[in-house]
Amino acid sequence: MIGDPLSIRPERDTVVAELRGEIDLSNAKTIAGEIGSAVPNDAAGVVLDLADVTYLDSSGVHLIFDLNERLHGRQQRLVLTLPEGSRISRVLELVNVEAVVPIERTVDASIDRVHAEP
Amino acid sequence: MPEQRATGGPLGASAGGDDAILSRLRKLESITEAALANLRLDELLDVLLTRLRSVLEVDTAAVLLLDEQTSELVARAAKGIEEEVEQGVRVPLGAGFAGRVAAESRPIFLADVQPTDVVNPILIDKGIRSLLGVPLLVESRTIGVLHVGTLTLRTFRHDEAELLQAAADRIALAIDHARLYDAERQARAVAERRAEQVHDLQSITDVALSHLAMDDTLLVSMLDRVCGLLDADTAAILLLDSEGDVLVVRAAKGIEEEVERGLRIPLGGGFAGRIAGERRPVVLEDVDHAEVMNPILHDKGIRSLLGVPLLVEGEPIGVMHVGSLSPRSFTEEQVSLMELAADRIATAIDRARQHNVAEQLQRALLPSGLPEIPGLNMAASYHPAADDADVGGDWYDVLQLGSGLVGVAMGDVVSRGLRAAAFMGELRTALRAYAIEGDRPARVLTRLDRLVRGMREREMATVAYAILDSRTRELTYCLAGHPPPLVIPVEGEPRFLRAPASAPIGAVAAPRYEDCDAKLDARDTLLMYTDGLVEHRDRTLEEGMAALAEEALARGEEPEELVSRLMGRLGRSADDVAALAVRLSGVDPERVELRLPAVPGSLSPMRAALGEWLAAAGAPDDDAYDVLIAAGEAAANAVEHAYGPVDAEFEVEGRVTDGSVVLAVRDSGRWREPRGQHRGRGLLLMRELMDDVRIDRDEQGTAVEMRRALVRGEAT
């Protein structure tokens, strides 16, 4: 596998977690843990940038839902960034992620969404 | 008899300074110079005589040449009234006018020709009145006569006589040239014929030398050639046995029974025995039956024999003889040709014998076969040096290192011969030992170098060692002064695996060896070779490598085919050549079977392999992606649920049936019912992405079988 599948940066009071490559059973748990511990209490929320993810299965879906639940308990928001035509959108549709977690096309739009009124 | 002698004095009226005459002379000379340079003798005589006739205003001009064997002058060319006379009129030396000119080697002028003066009746018949003749001289030797004549009484002036003599000198020179040329041409023809014969002979022994195995077919074909060269009916080669005292017939033509009967002739006895004993050619023009021990020669009716010894460094190793069914003699040339043939054949036989020992050792030290490794197809080949009695210690090796890792080694010992072969054996064993410990290539080569530099008799070798992961297709390699391996893809240009410059094993103190990495694609071929494949006398290493890359250009060949073609095309080298090709197996579009450790790390390689198979099976991208996710989910289940033995495995089997992909994922664990809110998503995805999902569980394990029509909606 090429490089680290995760990089995290703060942007406008938000933690932007950028995922890359394949997310499956072999790395989903580790990634979830790393993101969870990287979110300060005062952050408005987390943007999960999935633009460069080429594969994501139920482990990845589990990661999203799990993260969402944990953030929800802390009054923090999770927003996904997923450009049009992404390969993984089919899986996210099938498990109806959008009913629970909002999806935006760009990181900027996702951060805006984090700050938006509920 | 009215006669004027030309020697020393004026011939008739002198008109030395006459400009017209001088210019005519120049004209004549310029023609002769040109003629000498460009014309054949006949053309030259034709031009000269025609020109002389008009310049000197005479009615006949003729050249007669001396036939030294008969002492006669023979008419060679004529213009004017003698023209119609057939060539070949003969005049005895000393007789008649021309005969006198030749015999006395001086110009003679007959102002009024009398019948008694001439032998050639045509001159009288035609009414020749005056004649002037000059000798054709080559280095003061008379080779013929040039004469001119008139039908009216005529006096030739001094300058005209000089002109004639000048023309005669030119003609003599031209004739001498032509004769020299002819002689030279004949000599050359003989030399060429000889060279051709030798070449014929050489071509057959070259074949022998390149084969390095003196089989009977080869010997017989050489005898065929020898018979052809010497126009003989039978031929045989007898070799001294290991004791060196008995000749045994090894090959024969026309007298094949000799071989069948395994005829043995003691040294010194009979025809063949005498040749070997005396180490010189023997000719029997009329076979004296008492001299020939071999009854077969009698039975066959052989009348004449020529035999020569087969010598190596002056010592006889055997005898070769040819025979004729009719009595004949053998010329000196034929005897020496036979000796030449024997010399080459003896060399070939000797070289083959010497080579055999080292080559047998070399071959014994090379792997007798390559291991069968799933997912890899391999072939290797070794050719000993084509025209060197010494083998070069090239070697290769393939090692199974476990977990799908394969070690591939190629090496070339710098020295030659038996010692090189033995050193190669040591290196090969040492490399195996280090490699099997699991060392990375650079570490293996470093240890090999230390070992070699610790040896009492220092040798050097170039080595390439690579570890190929047959599952991930990742390659780690290291070169010690060895030419770079070549990666040949199914499509596109082959590429050399570059590495930092490095010293051969055993060459320098503390060499630096570094590992390099490369990623291969499915169906790529990795080619390792020794420099004999790329180094040739007539081109640079770069050119040799370019030629190799070009020759290896994608043809989708299997290793065996590739190696044999490359060795055939490029391996004709003075050096040993070894080549080893390892091809990553392609994908069978009909089916795929994978067996992987039940660990999360297996999921990604499983999907990669399955993805390749789906592409090969012709599944559209989107369909393939859906199938990959479903397979990934099933496999993830198998991994999560694996229990029992530490190294549990799971299997994925895929095939295409009736336009559908059918996938089976099996494990030896127990299917667990999904629990909790999130646990059912894997199964949900499988059911959504595939047309049909079945789960079978029993005590042995769980099998998930899924089906998906390719291009949904079309397969019903």
Contact criterion met (CB below 8 Å) for B377 and B398: no
With respect to residue A109, please indicate whether it lies within any of the assigned structural domains: yes
Q: What is the pLDDT of residue A2?
A: 38
Contacts of A71 (CB under 8 A, 6+ apart): A39, A45, A46, A77, A78
Contact criterion met (CB below 8 Å) for B413 and B393: yes
Distance CA B549, CA B322 (A): 50
With respect to residue A40, please indicate whether it lies within any of the assigned structural domains: yes
For B607, name the nearest residue in chain A, comparing CA atoms only: A55
- Reply yes or no on domain B3-182 having CATH 3.90.105.10: no
The residues of chain B that CATH labels 3.30.450.40 are 3-182, 212-360
CB contact under 8 A, A24 and B626: no
- Work out the minimum CA distance from B476 to partner chain A, whole angstroms: 16
Fill in the amino acid letter for A35.
I
Q: Which of B368-382, B527-541, B587-601 has the largest mean confidence? A: B527-541
Rounded to 10 degrees, the C-alpha dihedral B2/B6/B12/B18 comes to 160
**Which of A2, A55, A57 to probe the B interface (max B CBs under 10 A)?**
A57
Q: Does A95 touch chain B (CB under 8 A)?
A: yes
Residue-wise pLDDT for B217-253, tens only, equals 778 878 888 888 888 999 999 888 877 788 888 888 8
The residues of chain B that CATH labels 3.60.40.10 are 367-584
Indicate the DSSP class of residue B590: S
Distance CA B475, CA B466 (A): 7
**Which single residue is written with the structure tokens 């909606």?**
B713
Q: What is the pLDDT of residue B213?
A: 54
Q: What is the pLDDT of residue B202?
A: 64
**Which of B622, B623, B627, B685 to probe the A interface (max A CBs under 10 A)?**
B685
Is the pLDDT score of B612 beyond 70?
A: yes
**Which single residue is written with the structure tokens 């010189």?**
B280
For B455-490, b/e burial (b = at least 16 CB within 10 A) is eeeebbbbbbbbbbbbbebebbbbbbbbbbbbbbbb
Which residues in chain B have their CB less than 8 angstroms from residue A62's CB? Answer: 678, 681
For A55, name the nearest residue in chain B, comparing CA atoms only: B629
Please state the ipTM of this predicted complex. Answer: 0.92
Measured CA distances, B135 to B141, B143, B146, B169 (Å):
9, 8, 6, 9
The CATH number for A42's domain is: 3.30.750.24
The secondary structure of B452-490, three-state, reads HHCCCCCCCEEEEEEEEECCCCEEEEEEECCCCCEEECC
CATH class, B591-709 region? alpha beta
Q: Does B667 touch chain A (CB under 8 A)?
A: no
Q: Does A87 touch chain B (CB under 8 A)?
A: yes
Distance CA B536, CA B548 (A): 12
Please name which of B81, B82, B74, B47 lies closest in space to residue B145, comparing C-alpha atoms: B74
For A62, name the nearest residue in chain B, comparing CA atoms only: B678
**Into how many domains does chain A fold?**
1
Distance CA A89, CA A51 (A): 10
Residue-wise pLDDT for B168-212, tens only, equals 887 887 777 777 666 666 766 766 776 676 666 666 556 555 554
Name the helix (H) or strand (E) containing B53: helix B41-56
Q: Give pairs for B119-127: CB < 8 Å, separation 24+.
A: B119/B91, B119/B92, B119/B95, B120/B82, B120/B85, B120/B89, B120/B91, B120/B96, B122/B81, B122/B82, B122/B85, B122/B89, B123/B60, B123/B82, B123/B97, B123/B149, B126/B60, B126/B81, B126/B82, B126/B151, B127/B151
Q: Could you tell me which CATH number the domain at B367-584 has?
A: 3.60.40.10
Measured CA distances, B319 to B28, B270, B352 (Å):
65, 12, 17
CB contact under 8 A, B601 and A26: yes
Please name which of A18, A11, A6, A9 lies closest in space to residue A48, comparing C-alpha atoms: A18
CB contact under 8 A, B681 and A66: no
CB contact under 8 A, A57 and B629: yes
Fill in the amino acid letter for B321.
H
With respect to residue A1, please indicate whether it lies within any of the assigned structural domains: no
Q: Does B225 touch chain A (CB under 8 A)?
A: no
Residue positions counted in chain A:
118
CB contact under 8 A, B685 and A90: no
Q: Does A61 touch chain B (CB under 8 A)?
A: yes
With respect to residue A60, please indicate whether it lies within any of the assigned structural domains: yes
With respect to residue A45, please indicate whether it lies within any of the assigned structural domains: yes
Domain holding A59, by residue range, is 6-115
Which residues in chain A have their CB less than 8 angstroms from residue B600's CB? Answer: 24-27
CATH class, B212-360 region? alpha beta
Instruction: State whether residue B15 is helix, strand or coil.
Output: coil
Structure tokens at A35: 């993101």
CB contact under 8 A, A55 and B639: no
Residue-wise pLDDT for B454-491, tens only, equals 887 778 999 999 999 876 789 999 999 999 999 999 88
Which residues in chain B have their CB less than 8 angstroms from residue A26's CB? Answer: 600-601, 603-604
Residue-wise pLDDT for A37-48, tens only, equals 889 988 999 999
Q: Is B590 left (phi over 0), alpha (psi -120 to 50) or beta?
A: alpha
With respect to residue A31, please indicate whether it lies within any of the assigned structural domains: yes
Q: What is the pLDDT of residue B170?
A: 79
